[in-house]
Amino acid sequence: MCESNVYIDRAGHEELLMESVDRIIPAEDGSIFMENIFGERKVVKARIKEMELVHHRIILEEIDRPEVLERNQEIWLEPDTDHGHFHAGEEVVLKLSKGYNMKPDQGADYSAMEAFAVNEGAADPIHIHDHHDSKEINLGQEADGLLQIYVHEHGIRELYAKVVMEIGHHHHHGLQPLGLPLEIVPSDYSHACMGESYEIQVLQNGQPLAGAEVKVTYASTRSKDYPHHLTTSEDGRTKIFLSARGNYLFSVATQNITSTFTLVKSF
Amino acid sequence: MCKDLPPLERAVQFHGHVCPGLLMGIRVAEFAQKHLGVNQDIDEELVAIVETNSCGVDAIQSILGCTFGKGNLIYKDYGKNVYTIASREKKRAVRIAQKYRDKKSPESIRYRELNNQDHLTEEEEAEREDLLALIFENTMSAPFEDLFNWQDIDLVFPEKAQIHATIQCAVCGEGVMDSKATESAEGLICKACLLAKEGLA
């Protein structure tokens, strides 16, 4: 058997959910992740009812919730610290996650990813390693300054995650873009605080991207979907008032790329 | 060295969550600090007299350092969002009263509606977060005079908190501040034992 069409059984009536699926991963929370040969992905709250392998058909049956959660996966980085920065000489550890709306998906595939640390324009590859059930990037105790760390997942759909980390107490302004094909750049890197507005700019191949939808979420949201949806201005900028504690995640997508930027609030 | 938490974060951490009442208290505390030219209290340099026991008082405690435990937070049970903040060193006091509004904003009405519900659907939870973000931005960006009336006042400063000796209650055996103990047939007893004795506990 190669790829299959996946159907969902709704009250005895079958509906085509996704064509040419080549990967299905059931998660512990009762959802099923699927991906097809075109790079499309879906997560549904369902169980496998029947697999007709000869006919390339997989039939799912809904459970619990009637709606189908349809969204693209994204990746993001968060520092393993509760105060937003690392001290010089401290072990710098970042957590890498894959999922949606800062909610990691169980069983996500991290195999096609590579990570880089960029300091003063030079990008050094860094190792992504397993840590319990998640992935981590450990920059050790030697890292210093204002680093930009990004992860790239190769595939039909390209995923990028970027974070700016302050190691020691360095105050810089005007970070240089990394040159990613789709990139979120903070307009003025400084310590972002709750109760203030924060502006970012979206660049596509180095040029401001106007009219792009930027979704914004934060770690403590109880919302299933992104709570904030912004649109970039003509110069690719948009801003949000920071009303929640903890880190924020900005996400922007084009047809083939999803790129995130984690805003780490520091004090 | 790490910096201290920003005042707003400190208040949210202390209170446990963001809510409209806390935000109003944050505005009061920040205004009082700036107006009086004072920093966070260390040891009773400041006094706060609060006429409410609602969320905003937690901002007064966490940002100004006028706390229940230090004795420089004086609570008057008037049910009014009125705060008098005073500096012993500067011999100045300001009384700040939240303005009464007979018309609430639509977002405030809806937020309160959702907040009073026992259970929220996912959509309602998302709506509540959205509304709170809007209320947050509006509250923090509004001119202070749009939200509050304030005036400098002459305040007769209350005495600083006193430290009393602890004696043993003749009934329960627990320690009690001597100024709070009552003479009885059993000897000096605490308030709890006195109320139990009178059948009021």
- Measured CA to CA, the distance from residue A99 to residue A118 in angstroms comes to 24
Query: Which of B2, B119, B135 is most worth mutating to test chain A (most A CB atoms within 10 A of its CB)?
Result: B2
Closest CA to A160 of A219, A118, A208, A188: A118
Three-state DSSP class for residue A251: strand
Contact between chains at B133 and A244 (C-beta distance less than 8 A): yes
- Measured CA to CA, the distance from residue A123 to residue A162 in angstroms comes to 13
Q: What is the pLDDT of residues A156-201, one digit of tens each?
A: 889 999 998 887 766 555 578 999 999 999 987 766 888 889 999 9
- At residue A44, the pLDDT reads 80
Model confidence at A29: pLDDT above 90: no
CB burial of residue A19 (10 Å; 0-12, 13-18, 19+)? middle
- At residue A175, the pLDDT reads 76
Q: Which residue of B has its CA nearest to A216?
A: B130
Model confidence at B108: pLDDT above 50: yes
What pTM value is reported for the model? 0.76
Partners of A34 in the beta sheet? A24, A42
**Could you write out the three-class secondary structure of B90-152?**
CCEEEEEEECCCCCCCHHHHHHHHHHCCCCCCHHHHHHHHHHHHHHHHHHHHCCHHHHEEEEE
Q: What is the pLDDT of residues A206-232, one digit of tens each?
A: 999 999 999 999 988 888 888 899 999
Judge contact between B65 and B40, C-beta under 8 A.
Answer: yes
Instruction: List CB contacts (< 8 A) between A224 and chain B.
Output: 122, 126
* Candidate from B2, B5, B126 with C-beta closest to A227: B126
- Residue A67 — pLDDT band, cuts 50, 70, 90? very low
Closest CA to A191 of A97, A247, A267, A259: A267
Model confidence at A65: pLDDT above 60: no
Contact between chains at A241 and B133 (C-beta distance less than 8 A): yes
Contact between chains at A227 and B140 (C-beta distance less than 8 A): no
Contact between chains at A241 and B136 (C-beta distance less than 8 A): yes
Interface residue B136 vs chain A (CB under 8 A): yes
Model confidence at A68: pLDDT above 80: no
DSSP notation for A95-123:
EEEEEETTEEPTT---TTEEEEEEETTEE
Q: Taking each helix axis from N to C terminus, what angle separates B106-115 and B122-141, rounded to the nearest 10 degrees? A: 130
Judge contact between A257 and A181, C-beta under 8 A.
Answer: yes
Mean pLDDT on A119-128:
86
Please give the distance of CA A25 from its chain centroid, rounded to a whole number.
19
The alpha carbon of residue B121 is apart from the nearest alpha carbon of chain A, in Å, by 10
Q: What is the pLDDT of residues A234-245, one digit of tens each?
A: 999 999 999 998
Q: What is the pLDDT of residues B126-155, one digit of tens each?
A: 889 889 999 999 999 999 999 999 999 999
DSSP letter assigned to residue A176: P
Tokens 């939808």 identify what position? Answer: A213
Contact between chains at B12 and A194 (C-beta distance less than 8 A): yes
Interface residue B117 vs chain A (CB under 8 A): no
